[in-house]
Amino acid sequence: MKAAKFVGNDHIQIVEMEVPSLTSEDDVVVRVTCCGLCGSDKRLFHNGANHIPGHEIAGVIHQAGANAKLALGTRVIIYIPIYCGTCKYCLAGETNRCQQVNGLVGWQRNGGYAEYVVVPARNVIPIPDDLTDMDGVLLLDTIGTAAHAIRLAMRRNPDATAGEKVLVMGCGPLGLGTILTFKALGFTAIYAADPSEERLALAQEFGAFPFTASGEPEAGEFAIVIEASGSAMGRKIGLYAVEPGGALVILGESNDPFVIEPTPALRRKDFYMIRSFYFDLNEMADNIELYRNNQQSFQRLVSKVVSFEQLEETFVEFCQGKTIKPFVRMENK
């Protein structure tokens, strides 16, 4: 099979590898049909990776172990945390909270920038017949992660003083997906911030109002702030922009330390700060329905579909901010 090797310095080699085999009777081999580029992949593009990246994957069951109970040819998407399935969180369906996770697909195990990938059968989710493979991919990081973060923020203790304004920091793929998810969940006073005028303009096209922080700490005015940039500045602004009683959700990825300066304004503010990672399988049915009801809106995120051979040049464009959500389409048979 063909697979992508991220060698670092913004370079990708397309190499030939053996098609992966089943490692247990609980596994499946998935023939990848498409894989979405994610902002977190940029680090691997820049720095290189020990495994095949790609974690927003749709495909078809190519081979199934005896215990898999999945028919060959079933269209699926892949849930990336290799959760244990036996801890109290997994047994409750809170698979994103598993503390025995054995790596993530596309990070600590080979992922979807290849023609085939092997994963535990419990990590595949069948795609409904009325949705395309690309629809299925959008249900993963872009909608699933965003919707979970918003739901976490909405679970905070209800307060009569809670406002209706929400803010999204960072208008990359995840931030724009969060804006559309806020809209799909019925929010109307949605604001967005991004240093890129082009990204901010796109957020406005998606229905958000522009928010620009001044040099001074802002008075908290947002009931929910989703920090989707991963930047130190975005996180700092979010701390001050959230209103008392509101929720700041740290969603963006970064390898840099998150340092909070203990200013009087923060010491005296009564608010929630939440770290969110990924959605749990309990939410999948609700996410599918949310997507169905807003399908055309969410599909606006897909900026282009390219062949596997165009992966490197597509990543260059993606890192330059020229595209929102490119997809790689596999041409395997």
Separation between Cα atoms, residue 232 and residue 144, nearest integer Å: 24
Q: Which residues pair with 272 in a beta bridge?
A: 247
Give the model confidence (pLDDT) of 260-294 as tens digits.
988 888 888 999 999 999 999 999 999 999 999 99
Which helix (DSSP H) or strand (DSSP E) does residue 180 occupy?
A: helix 173-184
Is the alpha carbon torsion for 78, 80, 81, 82 positive or negative? positive
Separation between Cα atoms, residue 324 and residue 312, nearest integer Å: 16
Judge whether residue 96 has pLDDT over 80.
yes
Q: Is 311 helix (H, G, I), strand (E, B) or coil?
A: helix
Tell me the average pLDDT across 88-92: 96
- The pTM of the full predicted model, rounded to 2 decimals, is 0.92
Where does the pLDDT of residue 215 fall: very low under 50, low under 70, confident under 90, or very high at 90 and above? low
If you ran DSSP here, which 8-state letter would residue 104 be given?
Answer: B
Measured in whole angstroms, the distance separating CA 280 from the mean position of its chain's CA atoms is: 12
Judge whether residue 113 has pLDDT over 70.
yes
Q: Is 4 helix (H, G, I), strand (E, B) or coil?
A: strand
Separation between Cα atoms, residue 328 and residue 306, nearest integer Å: 5
Res 333: pLDDT? 47
Q: Give me the chain's average pLDDT, please.
A: 93
Domains of the chain: 2-127+301-329 (3.90.180.10), 144-275 (3.40.50.720)
Res 157: pLDDT? 78
| DSSP conformation letters of 141-207 | IIIIIHHHHHHHHHTSPP-TT--S-EEEE--SHHHHHHHHHHHHTT---EEEE-S-HHHHHHHHHTT
Asked if residue 153 lies in contact with residue 163, where contact means CB atoms within 8 angstroms, the answer is no
